[in-house]
Structure 1
């Protein structure tokens, strides 16, 4: 497999994403989502590889907005993915790959991009018509952002402080996705 073209730098934000092979589901039930979130905690947070700024797990893909803390981030992501695939395959008596390719990464190099990306991530389930409102999707960090759920996984303080309150962030997200300047961020679901 060719080397990744992006060079990870500590102290920078990255949009990390991946999807199922042939766009197939990577999460079949609530336990799958919960297990993946636990692995994020184990391999990224507990190893001090990255802070999770925002996340959304969808049936056939995931999005993570991370702030890199250590040079071993890529190795930690690899361990997370391998651990999840092994557990998934064992649980469903299957073999082979689960993800389409290695995880993808985009450098988030501007504050405005960072804020728009959190909105994009949190609106993914609405865009996919899985729920009517972002707060109805259990497997994203949106509920923490708008004070509907206490949580320790996402570190949303920096983004939320830009909006001065959870309600202001909610209003920002609830604006029509068509008005957002994030068309170039769209992940091909």
Structure 2
């Protein structure tokens, strides 16, 4: 099950998930979705490779690979204007700080835009580490099947707030497209895999 206490460590893959508090929505307009993605680019991409994402009206899923420790330590030095001291700071704390800044800033802007008060997100950022190849494939697949799972679309590729179309295109993207496509062998194999019928109801080990 997703756990908010799993540390985010270099070179590991994680499924990350959070949802809106109560019956509220995280995204009420197109601009909300795009603003959230801009915050991901600003805060998360310096420390993680974004493999997939799925933004639903009241929750989101991200699948990332945390970057190498040397890359993160160098970014820390640039951002903080000081050397990374492993004796007093865990690298996982700095990684988590980046994710927290992303979400907290979004919540603050969202509340201001809609004259809203209180917590926007229900809880801490939930995460599950991908422990084997099957987990990685499952996390990628579900990111793109999520809209179908929630009856927002009839098939994969129709929801404009997930990473599927960007991964099969040749346009510029901030996603780790080459790595994702290589994982499946080719773009054609990626599409073929996503076209197969899969029973999502038996996958609640990881997903909502």
SS at match of 1:135: coil
Kept in 1, the 8 Å contact 2:9–2:66? The answer is: yes
- Residue in 1 that maps onto 2:205: 184
Cα distance, 1:23 vs structure 2: 4.3
Shift of 1:181: 7.3
RMSD over equivalenced CA pairs, Å: 1.9
Question: Which runs of structure 2 are paired with 1:1-189 in the superposition (5 Å)?
Answer: 4-45=4-45, 48-69=46-67, 70=72, 71=91, 72-147=94-169, 150-178=171-199, 182-187=203-208
The Cα shift of 1:173 comes to 1.0
* CA shift for structure 1 position 154: 1.3
Structure 1 residue 5: Cα displacement? 2.4
Alignment match, 2:77: none
Structure with bigger gyration radius:
2
Structure 2 SS opposite 1:185: coil
For 2:123 and 2:108, locate their aligned partners in 1 and report how far apart those are by CA, in whole Å.
16
TM-score, normalization by structure 2: 0.81
Cα distance change, pair 97–84 in 1 and its aligned pair in 2 (3 A): same
Distance 1:105 1:20 in 2: 16
Alpha-carbon separation, structure 2, partners of 1:13 and 1:61:
20
Aligned length: 182
Distance in 1 of aligned mates of 2:150 and 2:30: 18
Gapped regions of structure 2 (runs ≥ 5):
73-90
String of CA shifts for 1:81-111, please: whole Å, max 9, x gaps: 1110111011001111100011101011212
